[in-house]
């Protein structure tokens, strides 16, 4: 039976020690709630740090035994691990950097070493406990190397990863010296989830630019695997906040609400952990400006400022605390009157009952982080208004939640005037507008709960595992591969047509460096020596390069997409071709080049090509679009064709293509088995020229005339190896 194995930095408990005895308190965070509400059919285990440095081995054994009964498996970290991996790399590198506070990013190798080592510890513990058919779900920024570490030892196990914080734009991400390792770590997962599409888009862009993997509709071919990248916005346990009296003392909640409302003032609520990402000083300043500018509200509004202590070992958090204290002191000092303090400031956390009483009592919640992955407080406040139906949410556009809570008053947290205007608008909003806005948001939150979030993530991960995706994209399945190999073995005369770049070899920024490696040469040698096999490499490259790299194998080849044909050791031009048109076309490509530094022109005997592999893909595609019409116009009367390949545009004689080259070999001999493999547009002609029963295989996931697909070069080589073994 498969199980769900959750891995997160912290286990959902806190451990207390009183008089030598251990006490365990469950901590009901969003994640724990979501997972608890998941289908009970599947067994769940949870692996994470116990939250406390326990060094004594007997005590560790005791904790492990106690927690094991609840399906929790603790990892023990030393004080040093905690300070370098958790407070160090996690909270002084990734946290600030991913929230666009790169001025706080600390570049220290010892933090990085500890991050790697602790991720390794997690991996070892996970590997001790998992079975091959388990579903593993790794959480958050503390464990970004873990998916690849698990994958290395358990290549077929299903791994999901969810990032709870933003993924920054490539321009920010690229600054990190450890960027590539971090990406490759996460890419060990089969499914990678984010709160919003923006984070997903930033991630895919970083993956493309740094690791070179290009996605199609969120599916990333990584080596021989297909990784699913998707958006899963996290919700809340709606009923918990809508009907808190079901969980907490109802009378206490009622008393608390009455007390909060007793002064008859409008209450503006602000709740966050003490964190520079939350925009607390900016919010206080906006409130100050509001009471300075709108005297009529003095004595009539109160800002309830709840700041929950957090990460007090990190310098910036202490500085922030001082800043908040000073600001509050200054404003209260300046505006306080007899019986009114503008800001009621609490630096502590509150039990659930009191928290929900505040949600209910507040007229306005002002939640204006400078950056926030999602922000659950905003959602909880809206749910908390279920019964009363009155209240206004002012929400930062920089919070992930702003994508869903579009009926809030959305503000830019750095724009103090925008925030002041929103406060005024909120205070004066008619009740029916309040109810309408809340109603719309509540409807969404009720539907997209944390349970929905966890279920969707896991369901999608399970579907991936069931190879549904493979069926959809006609990836060559194992049985089909075996059939192909059997057919090959059974046949007498076999034609094997292989494209070179993107099929036998991966792409490089500089095409001249894609020299065949020893493994490939050995594979091709074996294949050509297989009895009854005619092996042909059919490429867009010029014949000199092909000869230099593969000539010694003595195989047949087609160069320049079939302009040149090499059979029985001799090159021939396929038909009467001209190249006097080059002088007309070259200037167009030269002006393309001038407009696009970094691209380059390749001149072959009978064709001209413009390559944009080394520049930004979007820019290259824009240029192609701009120049396509000019080229088509110029080539129309010249009996030429414009071919768009993988990051290259090629102009050559019409009527020459890989399909024609394929026909050439088909006309020379009869074959009872045909196999063709290729990765780009130009290989489509090969596929189309072959009879329908031929084995045609496209490398990559794009639309194709081929019968099957393979993800990458690795799979192609695996297939060829099977043919020759």
Report the C-alpha gap between 253 and 356 in whole angstroms.
Answer: 8
List binders of ligand GDG among 378-417 (CB under 6 A).
Answer: 380
Q: Compare residues 255 and 722 and give the one whose CB is closer to ligand GDG.
A: 255
Tokens coding 402: 């702003």
Q: Which stretch binds ligand GDG (CB under 6 A): 110-118, 318-326, 374-382, 421-429?
A: 374-382
Report the C-alpha gap between 594 and 366 in whole angstroms.
Answer: 52
Angle at 590 between CA 589 and CA 595, to 5 degrees: 95
Q: Is 702 in the site for ligand GDG (CB under 6 A)?
A: no
Q: Tell me how far, at minimum, the Cβ of 35 lies from ligand GDG, in Å.
A: 13
Which residues lie below 8 Å from residue 382, measured CB to CB, with a gap of 6+? 393, 405, 408, 438, 441, 442, 445
Contact with ligand GDG (CB under 6 A) among 22, 247, 252, 308 = 308
Contact with ligand GDG (CB under 6 A) among 75, 301, 376, 555 = 376
Q: Is 361 in the site for ligand GDG (CB under 6 A)?
A: no
Which residues lie below 8 Å from residue 275, measured CB to CB, with a gap of 6+? 310, 311, 317, 320
Q: Compare residues 101 and 671 and give the one whose CB is closer to ligand GDG.
A: 101
Q: Tell me how far, at minimum, the Cβ of 238 lies from ligand GDG, in Å.
A: 13
Q: Tell me how far, at minimum, the Cβ of 94 lies from ligand GDG, in Å.
A: 12
Q: Which stretch binds ligand GDG (CB under 6 A): 350-358, 593-601, 616-624, 626-634?
A: 350-358
Report the C-alpha gap between 313 and 479 in whole angstroms.
Answer: 57
Angle at 577 between CA 572 and CA 578, to 5 degrees: 130
Q: Which stretch binds ligand GDG (CB under 6 A): 312-320, 367-375, 525-533, 610-618?
A: 367-375
Report the C-alpha gap between 424 and 295 in whole angstroms.
Answer: 12
Q: Which stretch binds ligand GDG (CB under 6 A): 68-76, 282-290, 345-353, 443-451?
A: 345-353
Within 232-357, strands assigned E span: 266-273, 301-308, 343-346
Q: Which stretch binds ligand GDG (CB under 6 A): 141-149, 212-220, 318-326, 343-351?
A: 343-351
Q: Compare residues 412 and 614 and give the one whose CB is closer to ligand GDG.
A: 412
Three-state SS sequence of 144-186? CCHHHHHHHHCCCCEEEEECCCCCCCHHHHCCCCCHHHHHHHH
Q: Is 372 in the site for ligand GDG (CB under 6 A)?
A: yes
List binders of ligand GDG among 504-563 (CB under 6 A).
Answer: none
Q: Which stretch binds ligand GDG (CB under 6 A): 215-223, 370-378, 438-446, 662-670?
A: 370-378
Contact at 8 Å (CB) between 405 and 397?
Answer: no
Write each residue from 591 to 630 as x if it is in contact with ligand GDG (CB under 6 A), else as -, in one continuous string. ----------------------------------------
DSSP 362-424: -SEEEE--SSBS--HHHHHHHHHTTTT---EEEEETTBGGGGT-TTSEEE-TT-HHHHHHHHH
Contact with ligand GDG (CB under 6 A) among 205, 368, 375, 539 = 375
Q: Is 352 in the site for ligand GDG (CB under 6 A)?
A: yes
Q: Which stretch binds ligand GDG (CB under 6 A): 252-260, 349-357, 406-414, 459-467?
A: 349-357
Q: Tell me how far, at minimum, the Cβ of 664 lies from ligand GDG, in Å.
A: 60
Q: Compare residues 371 and 658 and give the one whose CB is closer to ligand GDG.
A: 371
Q: Compare residues 384 and 645 and give the one whose CB is closer to ligand GDG.
A: 384
Q: Compare residues 30 and 700 and give the one whose CB is closer to ligand GDG.
A: 30
Q: 364: closest CA among 443, 461, 297?
A: 297
Distances (CA, A) of 372 to 199, 201, 276, 401: 11, 16, 11, 8
Contact with ligand GDG (CB under 6 A) among 30, 34, 185, 540 = 30
Q: Compare residues 84 and 398 and give the one whose CB is closer to ligand GDG.
A: 398
Q: Tell me how far, at minimum, the Cβ of 462 lies from ligand GDG, in Å.
A: 22
Q: Compare residues 245 and 605 and give the one whose CB is closer to ligand GDG.
A: 245
List binders of ligand GDG among 270-289 (CB under 6 A).
Answer: 271, 273
Q: Tell me how far, at minimum, the Cβ of 379 lies from ligand GDG, in Å.
A: 8
**Candidates 81, 272, 499, 542; catalytic one:** 499
Q: Tell me how far, at minimum, the Cβ of 435 lies from ligand GDG, in Å.
A: 24
Q: Compare residues 157 and 411 and give the one whose CB is closer to ligand GDG.
A: 411
Tokens coding 224: 């021989």
Q: Tell me how far, at minimum, the Cβ of 189 lies from ligand GDG, in Å.
A: 17
CB atoms within 10 A of CB 614: 15
Strand order in the sheet with 72-75: 72-75, 43-49, 3-10, 135-139, 158-162, 191-194, 225-231, 219-222
The site that binds ligand GDG (CB under 6 A) totals a number of residues, namely: 19
Q: 62: closest CA among 28, 32, 20?
A: 20
| Residues facing residue 238 across a β-bridge | none
Query: CA quadruple 702, 706, 709, 715: dihedral positive or negative?
Result: negative
List binders of ligand GDG among 212-251 (CB under 6 A).
Answer: 234
Report the C-alpha gap between 674 and 441 in whole angstroms.
Answer: 59
110 part of the active site: no
Report the C-alpha gap between 3 and 130 in whole angstroms.
Answer: 9
Q: In degrees rounded to 5, what are phi and psi of residue 626?
A: -65, -40
Q: Tell me how far, at minimum, the Cβ of 461 lies from ligand GDG, in Å.
A: 18
User: Around 613, how many Cα atoms within 13 Å sit in the side-chain half-sphere?
Assistant: 18
Catalytic residues: 499
Q: Which residues would be at the binding site for ligand GDG (CB under 6 A)?
A: 30, 164-165, 234, 271, 273, 308, 349-352, 355, 372-377, 380
């Amino acid at each position: 039976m498969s199980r769900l194995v959750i891995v997160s930095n912290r286990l959902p408990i806190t451990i207390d020690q009183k008089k030598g005895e251990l006490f365990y308190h469950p901590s009901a965070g969003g994640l724990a709630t979501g997972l608890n509400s998941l289908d009970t059919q599947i067994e769940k285990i949870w692996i994470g740090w116990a939250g406390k440095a326990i060094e004594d081995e007997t005590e560790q054994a005791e904790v492990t035994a106690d927690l094991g009964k609840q399906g929790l498996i603790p990892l023990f970290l030393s004080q040093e691990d905690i300070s370098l991996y958790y407070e160090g790399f996690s909270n002084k590198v990734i946290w600030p950097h991913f929230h666009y506070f790169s001025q706080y990013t600390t570049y220290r190798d010892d933090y990085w070493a500890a991050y790697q080592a602790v991720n390794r510890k997690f991996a070892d513990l996970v590997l001790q406990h998992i079975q091959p058919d388990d579903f593993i779900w790794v959480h958050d920024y503390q464990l970004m190397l873990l998916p690849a570490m698990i994958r290395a030892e358990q290549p077929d196990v299903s791994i999901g990863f969810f990032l709870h914080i933003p993924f920054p734009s490539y321009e920010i991400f690229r600054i990190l010296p450890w960027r590539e390792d971090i990406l490759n770590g996460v890419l060990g997962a089969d499914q990678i989830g984010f709160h919003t599409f923006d984070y997903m888009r930033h991630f895919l862009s970083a993956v493309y630019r740094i690791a070179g993997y290009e996605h199609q509709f969120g599916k990333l071919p990584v080596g021989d695997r297909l990784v699913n990248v998707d958006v899963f916005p996290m919700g809340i346990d709606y009923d918990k906040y809508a009907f808190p009296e079901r969980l907490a003392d109802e009378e206490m909640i009622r008393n608390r609400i009455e007390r909060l409302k007793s002064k008859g003032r409008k209450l503006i609520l602000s709740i966050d952990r003490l964190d520079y990402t939350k925009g607390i000083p900016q919010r206080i300043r906006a409130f100050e400006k509001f009471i300075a500018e709108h005297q009529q509200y003095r004595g009539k509004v109160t800002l309830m400022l709840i700041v929950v202590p957090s990460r007090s070992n990190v310098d910036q958090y202490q500085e922030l605390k001082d800043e908040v204290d000073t600001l509050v002191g200054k404003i209260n000092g300046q505006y306080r009157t007899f019986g009114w303090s503008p800001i009621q400031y609490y630096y502590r956390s509150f039990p659930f009952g009191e928290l929900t009483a505040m949600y209910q009592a507040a007229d306005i919640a002002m939640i204006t982080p400078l950056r926030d992955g999602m922000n659950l407080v905003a959602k909880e406040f809206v749910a908390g208004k279920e019964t009363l139906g009155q209240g206004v949410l002012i929400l930062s556009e920089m919070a992930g939640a702003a994508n869903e809570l579009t009926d809030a008053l959305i503000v830019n947290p750095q724009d103090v005037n925008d925030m002041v205007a929103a406060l005024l608008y909120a205070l004066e909003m008619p009740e029916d507008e309040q109810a309408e806005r809340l109603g719309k948001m509540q409807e969404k939150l009720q539907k997209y709960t944390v349970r929905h979030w966890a279920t969707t993530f896991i369901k999608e991960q399970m579907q991936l595992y069931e190879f549904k995706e493979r069926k959809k994209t006609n990836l060559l399945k194992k049985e089909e591969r075996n059939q192909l190999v059997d057919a090959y073995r059974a046949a007498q005369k076999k034609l094997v047509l292989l494209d070179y770049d993107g099929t036998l070899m991966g792409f490089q920024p500089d095409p001249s460096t894609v020299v065949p490696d020893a493994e490939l040469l050995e594979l091709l040698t074996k294949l050509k020596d297989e009895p009854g096999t005619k092996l042909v490499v059919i490429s867009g490259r010029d014949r000199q390069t092909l000869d230099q790299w593969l000539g010694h194998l003595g195989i047949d080849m087609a160069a320049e997409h079939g302009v040149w044909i090499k059979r029985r050791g001799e090159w021939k031009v396929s038909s009467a071709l001209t190249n006097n048109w080059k002088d007309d076309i070259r200037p167009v490509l030269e002006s393309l080049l001038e407009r696009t530094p970094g691209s380059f022109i390749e001149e072959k005997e009978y064709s001209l090509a413009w390559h944009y592999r080394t520049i930004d893909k979007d820019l290259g595609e824009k240029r192609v679009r701009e120049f396509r019409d000019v080229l088509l116009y110029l080539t129309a009367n010249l009996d030429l064709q414009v071919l768009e390949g993988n990051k290259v545009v090629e102009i050559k004689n019409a009527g020459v293509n890989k399909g024609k080259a394929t026909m050439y070999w088909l006309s020379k001999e009869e074959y009872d088995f045909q196999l063709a493999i290729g990765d780009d547009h130009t290989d489509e002609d090969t596929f189309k020229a072959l009879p329908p029963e031929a084995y045609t295989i496209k490398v990559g996931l794009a639309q194709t005339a081929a019968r099957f697909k393979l993800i990458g070069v690795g799979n192609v080589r695996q297939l060829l190896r099977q043919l020759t073994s």
